[in-house]
Amino acid sequence: MATDPSTQHHDDRNHDIKVYLLLLALAVILIVVMALVYVTYQYPALAAPLGVGLTAAAVLVTGLGFAITRR
């Protein structure tokens, strides 16, 4: 069975878009983490609330990851 060249090009383009979105998401996550580190460094009293918030976010992201991979 022959493959359609336009379908292969479309799949390559979708893969490229997914890679770019992943890189964008990683950049945003890095900026948010750097901002939280800065706030925690400048205002040590916020370390406990930020820790609780980050723990909750980590649990939610992990759950979302499992939900996406099981689909």
Q: What would the pLDDT profile of 45-69 be if each residue is shown by its tens digit?
A: 988 988 888 888 888 888 878 887 8
> DSSP character for 46?
G
**Amino acid identity, residue 21?**
L
Q: How far is CA 24 from CA 21, 34, 39, 57, 69, in A?
A: 5, 15, 23, 19, 20
* 61 vs 69: CA distance, rounded Å: 12
Q: What is the pTM for the complete model shown?
A: 0.61
Q: What would the pLDDT profile of 17-35 be if each residue is shown by its tens digit?
A: 888 888 888 888 888 888 8
* 8 vs 45: CA distance, rounded Å: 54
The answer to whether the beta carbons of residues 39 and 50 sit under 8 Å apart is yes
